[in-house]
Amino acid sequence: MSLAQDPRAMAEIELGAAPGEAPRPTPRPRGRDGLVRGLLGNGKAVAGLVILAVFAAVALLAPVIAPGDPNLIQGLGAQPPSPEHLLGTTAKGQDVLALNIWGARSSLFVGFTVGILATLVGLLVGLASAYLGKTVDNLLSLVTNVFLLLPGLPLLVILAAFLPQGLGTVIVVLVITGWAGSARVLRSQALSIRGKDFVAAAQVSGESSLRIMFREMLPNMASIVMSTLLACVIFGIGAQAGLEFLGLGDISTISWGTNLYWASNDGALLTGSWWVFLPPGVCIALVAFALALVNYGVDETTNPRLRKPRRRVSPTAPTPVAGVDIADETKEERR
Amino acid sequence: MSAQTPVMSIRGLEKTFPIGGMLSRGRVRALGGVDLDIAPGEIVALVGESGSGKSTLARCLARLEQPSGGSLLFEGRDILRQEPRRASRSYRSAVQMIFQDPFGSLNPVHRVGHFLERPLRLHDAVSGRAELENAKRRLMEKVDLPAELLDRYPHELSGGQRQRIAIARALAVNPRLILADEPTSMLDVSVRIGVLNLMRTLCEQQGISMLYITHDLASARYLADRIVVMFAGEFVEGGEAMTLLAHPQHPYTRLLISAVPDPRRRGAFDPRERAQLRREVLKPVSCPFEGRSDTPCSRDAAVFHTVSESPEHWVRCGLYAPPSDAPGTALELPDTIEGATPA
Amino acid sequence: MSAPLLEVEDLSVEYVTDTRTVRAVDRVSFTVGEGEVFGLAGESGCGKSTIANAILRLLRDPAVIAGGSIRFRGTDVLAFDHERLREFRWRQVAMVFQSAMNSLNPVMTIGDQIADIYTTHDRISKKEALRRSGDLLDLVGIPHDRLRSYPHQLSGGMRQRVVIAMATALRPPLLIMDEPTTALDVVVQQEIMAQIKDLQRELGFAVLFITHDMSLMVELSDRMAVMYAGRFVETARAQAVFEEPSHPYTRALMNAFPPMSGPRTRLRGLGEGVRFRDIPDLVSVGPGHWAAPIADDVPSSEASR
């Protein structure tokens, strides 16, 4: 690839240095260090991380911020927001703010657990498919495709209806319906790494299969694993809320989803008590949004081509000449 | 040549690849049955264009691919029978490979030291931290690189340096045979000779055999003791390097020689001569050895004649044409030359 | 001696990023005459492709032409406005890019792609354009029925011939070829080179030929230049550069080709750690032969292995 197309390439090519410049480029931080540092410099990622941190803090500090059992009836039913109840009360008379603060715990916990487990299963399937040969690949791909084709929601409903109620069930059910998507993505990335010479070189050196999969291939997949993880967490949070809204989750726990369930059950939609169903919805949306922002940040950090160019030069403009005003050039374009 | 057991002895090695998915099946014969002996300490160049099967042969020897047929004798041991599924640790420590792409053969997430450490550890070449560090330094010295590079990442090194690391990695296990798959074709021109010289020196000093795979006849002549020419999955000619290039017998060899860019050559390129050579390769009508060789000519079986002036020099019978399912037979016949059929 | 076709004087191209500015091309000057083949040799990263792209103003952000001038038949290319640049590209100067054969549109037939050139630039009917496309294929020895083929149905060598034909479609006086044969096998490479020579003799265009394959370059070029790290180190008639290289870098490059005849002697390449810094301007070392003098700190016998 010529320098004209990939400015990043020039950082890796040793040009005779311009006078005064250091002869050897300083080593760029690689792997995890590089990713973290890059993320912290990226506006979108920082915004997302901040929002997530706030929610995490709220969830962890729930006993401190909203002491007591949120299920207890604390006031008159269906009261709009007021100084004592900042988000009003539910139809039964519970404090909406407390319910949602405590709800963060379950929602975030289940969301992240599902995300991590689904990614893990997908990763194992993907790596195994890519590395362990055609037969294993065909078999695992068949299984993956079956799970992808099965309609998610009916499957969720059926599984949830038959298994005993509880958070464990919710997690299991969501992982079962959610792993296939990440498996497919991770498999294709793993396959492209499998074809690289350094994997063959590791084999020729005598490395064991497990070591090759986890110490040679996996580290090269870091950014896509991260993206998949974030996507799975979003799925976990949303799907959990969906399940619980249908009443198929664990009704006895407090989460944003069950809050929505009770909101609908107790007729908050009918009575127009927006303060009951809006907060859980907004929380879910905000967390999903924050995760998406971090995802964009990861993409931009690992793929410098996605970064916004400093100057507003159109990609089809002719090469600028020093001293000639660029604004004139871009004006030409719009004719 | 001495009567030592060859380091590597191949008989009838074949490899066919199935193509297409589950519904449509086709086959590509990458390697027809080939025979080859490599003596200890010898450098053999395997020359051919893309699709000739040379890389497939190397990958079979490196046990990265499973051959579809034939036998492989390493220092006399029938490898495919003794270790049919996975290569043993002892095989891996005896047969090593250097890959074509210096950018791709080193894992970008590891430091240079890692590539030397793993083989040293895997094959119990060292015990203890101190010995390990010493061994790494010695390897770096052997390939003329400063020890400071051990802490760098591959992307901080130039192509030539990376390829030297790849050579050091191969040397770490004290191999008997190194398979070098086009080791210099992706390097800058000015560093190629250095790498070739390094490989030659190391082989001579340590008695390592090498199978040097290339499409570049000039570097094959420079580096190798023997040259074997390959086309469409078959060997077509082989012999001592200088004699073979001075007196090429097979039309494909002559075609390759005529195609080597040579600024010292003054004669112009003659497309008719080229087209004629191609016709001889793909649609042979006669064999120059007909009636002159102990082995009778055959259109069907792969027959090799020996050149009487130098018995080490053998040529495939001129009557034999490669089958149509072998890749690399799509040599274009130029359409403007009369008598030539379009590709 | 007629006026030069292309005149590049003191050209500098920089890549300006947030972290640093890199000079990819540093005060380079050369001329290409009408009908001449000028070779630009150098290894990866030396800036030769950058020069080629700069002539057509194709370099993208963050590249900037930082200084110097490019004149084509006397007119200043760098002063062109958008309209004139469109006129200039392909009609006056055409380019065969690296791996061009892989950048043919996979979903259009060859005929359509060639016809596109004519319908866009000459504004003629599609039928007429297809007829001319057939004539073009004749020039490179490809049968007319291939007009209906898709790129993947042609071999690599044929695709490259199509691309070269496309570059000559509007009969530009200057053709820039950036590594036209790199991805091809040796035998096909020679054929393409012969094709280019034939075309050049027949149509009379000049060629700016860029490659790292020194032996190809010496075979094809009339004059050539050797580049290193954005600067020229030597320029002369091709045979002169090959037979009497003056600068150590040129010598290393010419030495890097083991001969096909004669005794086998150990060659010396360029050592691993050798770098040339602050390359001075060229001085004359013979008739029509210019080379950069060696600075004091470069060892006269370069490290070799």
Rounded to an integer, the average pLDDT of C72-79 is 89
Q: Is C2's pLDDT higher than 70? A: no
Cα of B299 vs its chain's centroid, Å: 27
Convert the pLDDT of each residue in C151-200 to its tens digit.
988 888 888 889 999 999 999 999 999 988 877 888 888 888 888 888 88
Closest CA to A122 of A106, A101, A141, A102: A141
Q: What pLDDT sits at residue A307? A: 66
pLDDT band with cut points at 50, 70 and 90 for residue B24: low
Mean residue pLDDT of chain A comes to 80
**Nearest-10 Cα torsion for B307, B312, B316, B318:** -10
- Write out chain A residues lying below 8 Å of B101, CB-based: 197
Per-residue pLDDT of C107-165, as tens digits, reads: 999 999 999 989 988 888 889 999 999 999 988 888 888 889 899 888 888 888 899 99
pLDDT, position A324: 63
Q: What is the mean pLDDT of residues B188-196?
A: 87
- Whether the per-residue pLDDT at B231 is higher than 60: the answer is yes
Neighbours of chain C (3+ CB pairs under 8 A): A, B
Rounded to an integer, the average pLDDT of B20-45 is 84
Best of B107, B118, B171 to substitute, by most chain A Cβ atoms within 10 angstroms, is B107
Taking a C-beta distance cutoff of 8 angstroms, is the pair B119, B167 a contact?
Answer: no
Across residues C30-56, what is the average pLDDT?
A: 90
Q: Is B213's pLDDT higher than 60?
A: yes
- pLDDT score at B50: 81
Cβ proximity of B63 and B88 under 8 Å? no
Question: What's the token pair of residue A1?
Answer: 């690839």
Flag whether residue B217 sits within 8 Å of chain C, measured between CB atoms. yes
Residue A292 has pLDDT above 60, yes or no: yes
Q: Examine the pLDDT at A9 and tell me if it is beyond 50.
A: no
- Report the relative pairing of strands B209-214 and C289-291 from DSSP bridges: unpaired
Compare all CA atoms of chain B with the CA of A220 and give the residue at the minimum distance.
Answer: B109
Query: Which residue of B lies nearest to A200 if distances are taken between CA atoms?
Result: B64
So what's the ipTM on this one? 0.87
| Mean pLDDT value across residues B317-334 | 62
Q: Are A82 and A97 in contact (CB under 8 A)?
A: no
DSSP structure string for A162-228: HSPSSHHHHHHHHHHHHHHHHHHHHHHHHHHHHTSHHHHHHHHHT--HHHIIIIIIGGGGHHHHHHH
Looking at residue A3, its pLDDT comes to 34
List phi, psi (to 5°) of A243: -60, -50
- Backbone CA torsion sign across B101, B107, B109, B112: negative
Q: For the CA atoms of B312, B318, B321, B326, what is the dihedral angle to 10 degrees? A: 30
Residues of A in contact with C85 (CB under 8 A): 318
Q: Which of B193, B262, B274 sits opposite C255 (nearest CB)?
A: B193
- Chain segment A261-279, per-residue pLDDT in tens: 888 888 887 888 888 888 9
CA distance B216 to chain C (A): 8
For B54-63, C12-21, C294-303, which range has the lowest pLDDT when averaged over its residues? C294-303
Residue A329 has pLDDT above 70, yes or no: no
- Cβ atoms within 10 Å, residue B208: 22
Pick from C212, C249, C272: CB nearest B161:
C272
For residues C124 and C116, what is the distance between their CA atoms, to the nearest angstrom? Answer: 10
Residue C62: cis peptide before it, omega within 30 degrees of 0: yes
Kindly write down the DSSP assignment for every residue of A133-170, as one continuous string: -HHHHHHHHHHHHHHHHS-HHHHHHHHHHHSPSSHHHH
Specify the residue for token string 């990614």: A119
Of C57, C275, C277, the CB nearest to A318: C57
The residues facing B45 across adjacent strands are B212, B227
Residue A292: is it exposed, middle or buried by C-beta count within 10 angstroms (0-12/13-18/19+)?
A: middle
> If you average pLDDT over residues A106-125, what whole number do you get?
94
Lowest mean pLDDT across A200-204, B166-170, B245-249: B245-249
Assign residue A54 a region: left if phi > 0, alpha if psi is -120 to 50, beta otherwise? alpha
Distance of CA C256 to the CA centre of its chain: 21
pLDDT category at A125 given cuts 50, 70, 90 is very high
Residue A114's CB: how many other CB atoms inside 10 A?
26
Q: Is residue A13 predicted with pLDDT exceeding 90?
A: no
Nearest of A255, A196, A187 to residue A225 by alpha carbon: A187
In this prediction, residues B80-98 reach a mean pLDDT of 90
Asked if C190 lies within 8 A of B219 by C-beta distance, the reply is no
How far are the Cα atoms of B109, B249, C18, C255 from residue C232, in angstroms, in the given order? Answer: 36, 44, 28, 19
The H-or-E segment that residue A332 falls in is helix A326-333
pLDDT of B224 reads 94
- Establish how many alpha carbons lie within 13 A of residue A313's alpha carbon, considering only the half-sphere containing its beta carbon: 19
pLDDT at B72: 93
Q: Which CATH architecture has domain C6-107+150-257+273-291?
A: 3-Layer(aba) Sandwich (3.40)
What are the two backbone dihedrals, phi and then psi, of residue C294, each rounded to the nearest 5 degrees? Answer: -85, 135
What's residue A5's pLDDT?
35
Where is pLDDT greater, at B163 or B51?
B163
Closest chain B CA to residue C157: B332
Token pair 């191949």 is found at: B10
A276 near A88, Cβ under 8 Å? yes
- Integer Cα distance of B206 and A85 in angstroms: 84
Instruction: Determine the residue among A3, A312, A333 to mutate to test chain C binding: the one whose Cβ has the most chain C Cβ atoms within 10 Å.
Output: A3
Task: For the beta carbon of residue C192, count every other beta carbon within 10 angstroms.
Answer: 22
Which residue, chain included where needed, has tokens 């810094």? C277
Q: What is the mean pLDDT of residues A46-54?
A: 93
Domains of chain A by start residue, with CATH: 53-307 (1.10.3720.10)
State phi, psi for B35 to the nearest 5 degrees: -120, 135
φ, ψ dihedrals at A76, nearest 5°: -70, 155
Q: How far is Cα A146 from Cα A266, in angstroms, rounded to an integer?
A: 38
Q: Can you point out the beta strands (E) in chain C?
A: 6-16, 21-32, 37-41, 63-72, 75-76, 93-96, 174-178, 206-211, 223-228, 231-237, 283-286, 289-291
pLDDT at B333: 42
Going by pLDDT thresholds of 50, 70 and 90, the confidence category of residue B339 is very low
Residues of C with CB under 8 A from a CB of A: 15, 17-18, 20-24, 26, 44-45, 47, 49-50, 53-54, 57-67, 78, 80-83, 85, 98, 178, 228-231, 275-279
Calculate the alpha carbon distances from A37 to A30, A40, A296, B193 in Å.
10, 5, 15, 41
Neighbours of A34 (CB within 10 A): 14
Q: What is the pLDDT of residue A309?
A: 59
Task: For an interface test with B, give the residue of C190, C211, C224, C242 to mutate (most B CBs within 10 A).
Answer: C190
Domain boundaries, chain C: 6-107+150-257+273-291
User: Running DSSP on this structure, what letter comes out for residue A24?
Assistant: S
What residue spans of B143-188 are helical by DSSP H? 159-171
- Residue A70: C-alpha distances to residues A62, A145, A260 (Å): 10, 43, 15
At A332, the pLDDT band (50, 70, 90 cuts) reads very low
Q: Supply the DSSP string of A59-99, one letter for each residue.
A: HHTHHHHS-S-TTS--S-TTPPP-SSSTT-B-SSS-BHHHH
pLDDT confidence of residue A314: 67
For residue A205, list chain B residues with Cβ-Cβ distance below 8 A.
92, 96, 118-119, 122, 169, 173
pLDDT digits 0-9 by tens, B261-318: 776 665 556 777 777 887 777 777 778 777 777 777 777 777 788 877 777 888 888 7
Q: pLDDT by residue (tens digit) across A298-323?
A: 888 777 666 665 555 666 777 777 76
Query: Phi and psi dihedrals of C109, rounded to 5?
Result: -70, 160
C-alpha dihedral, B16 to B21 to B24 to B28, nearest 10°: -20
The sheet that has C206-211: what strands, in order across it? C93-96, C174-178, C206-211, C37-41, C223-228, C231-237, C289-291, C283-286
**Residue closest to C179 by CA, chosen among C59, C50, C49:** C49
Which helix (H) or strand (E) is A8 found in, with range? helix A7-12
- Give yes or no for a contact between C171 and C205, defined as CB atoms under 8 angstroms apart: yes
| For residues A129-134, average pLDDT | 90
Is the minimum CB–CB distance between A3 and chain C shorter than 8 Å?
Answer: yes
Q: What percent of chain A has pLDDT over 70?
A: 82
Q: What is the mean pLDDT of residues A28-35?
A: 54
Higher pLDDT, A34 or B56: B56
Of these ranges, A312-326, B104-118, C58-72, C183-197, the one predicted with the greatest mean pLDDT is B104-118
Q: Chain C within 8 Å of A15 (Cβ-Cβ)?
A: yes
C-alpha dist (Å) from residue B287 to B279, B321, C44 = 13, 11, 45
pLDDT score for A62: 85
Stronger pLDDT, B101 or B287, i.e. the higher one:
B101
Chain B CB contacts of C275 below 8 Å = none
Task: State the chains in contact with B (3 or more Cβ–Cβ pairs under 8 Å).
Answer: A, C
Written as six digits, the tokens of A323 are 């001293």
Give the model's confidence band at A136: pLDDT under 50 very low, under 70 low, under 90 confident, else very high.
Answer: very high
**Least confident stretch, A300-304, B92-96, C234-238, C257-261:** A300-304
